[in-house]
Amino acid sequence: MTVKIKLEIPEEKPADMVKTNYEKVLEVLQKHKDGLTTNEISVISGVYERRVGESLKRMKQKKILKEKMCRCNRTPIYYL
């Protein structure tokens, strides 16, 4: 008795089509010129807040990110 098993391999997106967290955060900031908080970026992009913070840090190091404080002087608002 022979048993045949059919193996299905799901199609994967090419590596160049998969967006990194950094790219997702950058796109959200480019769409919102007035700026966003870390939490807002996280909700809009679907990236965890910790990963958003890491992406923002990289952008600061590259000097493409600016920040201003909200009117309560507590929450930073990030923009390009």
Closest CA to 38 of 4, 28, 9: 28
pLDDT at 8: 78
CB 28 within 8 A of CB 52: no
CB 25 within 8 A of CB 2: no
pTM, rounded to two decimals: 0.77
Q: Which of 11-15, 30-34, 52-56 has the lowest mean pLDDT?
A: 11-15
Q: Rounded mean pLDDT of 9-22? A: 77
